Structure 1
């Protein structure tokens, strides 16, 4: 889970830096007044979300498979504890 989160943050940071460069070069419009940083942050969120969805699909699937396996093991342990209590 930590790896996936760090990869998402990396994609966000890359998007932010790329968009900041485009704003600095004048390719993208600057925000209104002093809102330039907020403008670039919001735009980076909008750009990085679909990129993360596509680029991190394998990581997300692996993470969810790991979570499902942990939940299944917990269910088995819980059922074993219940049956041990019933037998006693």
Structure 2
């Protein structure tokens, strides 16, 4: 059975998922990612951060864990050299 891909591209996906990650709505994020071809390491915006950066910055722990399980790279650096861990430490 062919899986349905909700997102047409990574740019659409990231801006759909970002508010859910910020609100730590891990069940919704998990459901949307389950049959998606979305690249969890997709870097977006002018600072080139991933959703893992967003989750770490906002303290969205459940989404952070989910993204790591989906293969998000915890060592990816944005254009300033910040990893998600840097953002988590900076913002408590």
TM-score, with normalisation over the residues of structure 2?
A: 0.21
Greater Cα radius of gyration, structure 1 or 2:
1
Higher RCO, Cα 8 Å, sep 6+: 1
TM-score, structure 1 normalization:
0.21
